[in-house]
Amino acid sequence: MSQPAIHTLLQRHSGRTLLVTDHGHYTYGDICRYALQFATWLREQDIEKGDCIAIIAGNSAAYVAAWFGAAMNGTIAATLNNQLIADSLRYTITQSTCKLIVADQDWFDRAYHHLEPEQQALPLIVFSDEIDFFQQLSSRAVAEPANVDAAEPSTILYTSGTTGLPKGVVNCHAAYYESGAAAASLLGLTPSDRLMVFLPLFHVNPQMMGFMSALAVGASVALRPRFSATAFFSDAKRFGATGCTFVGTIFSILASRYPGEERDHSMRFCFGAGAHGDVAKAITERFGMSVHEVYGMTELGGWTTGSPANELRPGSCGKPRSDIELIVVDKDDNPLPPGEKGEIVGRPRKPNRILLGYWNQPEKMIEACSNLWFHSGDMGSYDQDGYLYYHGRLKELIRRGGEMVSPIEIETKLMLMDGIADCAIVGVPDPIMDEEIKMVVVPEGDINPQEIVGYLRGFFPSYMIPRYLEFAKEIPKTSNQKVQRFKLRDPSPGMIDFRSS
């Protein structure tokens, strides 16, 4: 492929609507033109093929045009978390070796001063909103796309960094195209579909699972600034969305926010990870949306398992994509039979489906791979029919008295209890049990601690019942809704110990 898949797809669907925002409608042709004008702007700044730029902004059509324009220039886009400040921000700017920063005014006002002087010396493109960005592009010529092979790097996406420093995952153009095409096929997307995307655009979910699946068939995207439980259904109706992508606790929050039926919308599906078991059932029964639960990683093609609507199996993440091999292994990398839990490992069946490596950290890629498998650090199991089940991060599992406890299992049930707006389960050190279980709960009004424990006892054995409880105003999370458990492990003055109460 001599040109990036993005350019080919934008041309193929030139007259169709690609993007709808609060500012307007944009066709595939509009975004293609803006992207190629942005490529001209990059060349004016001496940004060449193989160079890296940083994009740090909230969701907007400008973000999409900058991301696509970098791809058409053969430039690698480091799509950085726009909430980072201080050391975390400085680290990603330096580690990415970016030669230019593209940012919105909000980030500039809030975080630019955190950069070191040598980082502030980098060329900077700032825009107040997408209208301003496109006006700045208007005087520039439409560039010819660079000659870029599909196997060359396209983006650097930094892992969420719930602990330690993040790693920059490098994905190529082909990985984007194949992930989007596979998602469109799985979901049965057509040009008449419209995906509502509200997750931050620096994340693999909206990039690969959202935009690239739409591009594969000529569908459109309703781009929202952020997730809002209050506005979710009204936005879906207003923009005519037929589906959305999701991650983390978003649908647990929706299930809690809307206890009754909500059917006054056109949404028929949702695609992502994190709505397990009873939550997925609630989404389908109350809201009429089929929940396509997947297993995915930024490193492994964005998403690696899933099922079409007629093959959904509650609680599972579906079956592996045909182009990626995914198995469950023991500590020595021996494949495990159905029903046994182990680490999920993967490798591509076809070239350029998973990460090329970690940016400027080859040793991290070596650490992640052994016996020709990429090791996810996640625990899973298969059933007899080849459906994958996710059991949490290996490092997040709580070892209590010799039993391994998955925080996700307890959190999923807690989110369905009346009076709980959000929650998190963490392990805390204990000299006898190795770890004890603590629950951190964001209540809706007054709630009796003993009622929470009594509720959980209806679902779990005694070794899974938390010993400790803390009430909090919010649960600390990364911008893509992953719980930052390390911030919750230390006890607070108001922590309740049920053993002594």
For 179-233, write each residue's pLDDT tens digit. Answer: 999 999 999 999 999 999 999 999 999 999 999 999 999 999 999 999 999 999 9
How sure is the predictor about 1, in pLDDT bands with cuts at 50, 70 and 90?
very low
Q: What is the pLDDT of residue 164?
A: 52
Q: What is the pLDDT of residue 161?
A: 46
Tell me how far apart the alpha carbons of residues 229 and 304 are, in angstroms, rounded to a whole number.
27
Tell me how far apart the alpha carbons of residues 23 and 30 are, in angstroms, rounded to a whole number.
14
**Does residue 79 carry a pLDDT above 90?**
yes
**Does residue 325 carry a pLDDT above 80?**
yes
Q: What is the pLDDT of residue 243?
A: 98
Residue type, 467: R
**Does residue 252 carry a pLDDT above 90?**
no
pLDDT digits over 409-427, tens only? 899 889 999 999 999 999 9
The CATH classification of domain 398-497, taken from the options 1.10.150.120, 3.90.1200.10, 2.70.98.10, 3.30.300.30: 3.30.300.30
Quote the pTM value: 0.87
Q: What is the pLDDT of residue 479?
A: 66
Domains of the chain, residue spans: 26-148, 398-497
**Does residue 102 carry a pLDDT above 60?**
yes
How sure is the predictor about 328, in pLDDT bands with cuts at 50, 70 and 90?
very high
**Does residue 391 carry a pLDDT above 70?**
yes
Q: What is the pLDDT of residue 185?
A: 97
Q: Judge contact between 180 and 271, C-beta under 8 A.
A: no
Q: Which residue has the tokens 């997925």?
A: 280
Assigned CATH topology for domain 26-148? Rossmann fold (3.40.50)
pLDDT digits over 19-51, tens only? 999 999 999 999 999 999 999 999 999 999 999
- Average pLDDT over the chain reads 93
**Does residue 85 carry a pLDDT above 60?**
yes
Mean pLDDT of 461-469: 92
Q: Among 40-49, 55-64, 425-434, whose mean pLDDT is lowest?
A: 425-434
Question: Exposed (0-12), middle (13-18) or buried (19+): which is 160, by Cβ within 10 Å?
Answer: middle
How sure is the predictor about 461, in pLDDT bands with cuts at 50, 70 and 90?
confident
Tell me how far apart the alpha carbons of residues 420 and 440 are, in angstroms, rounded to a whole number.
10
Task: Report DSSP letters for 306-365, one per residue.
Answer: E--GGG--TT---EE-TTEEEEEE-TT-PBPPTT--EEEEEEESSTTSS--EETT-HHHH
Residue type, 7: H
- Show the tokens assigned to 400: 């209590």
Q: Which residue has the tokens 């060359």?
A: 152
How sure is the predictor about 2, in pLDDT bands with cuts at 50, 70 and 90?
very low
**Does residue 163 carry a pLDDT above 50?**
no
Tell me how far apart the alpha carbons of residues 104 and 86 are, in angstroms, rounded to a whole number.
18
**Does residue 65 carry a pLDDT above 50?**
yes
Helices (H) then strands (E): counts for the chain: 16, 27
State percent of the chain over pLDDT 70.
97
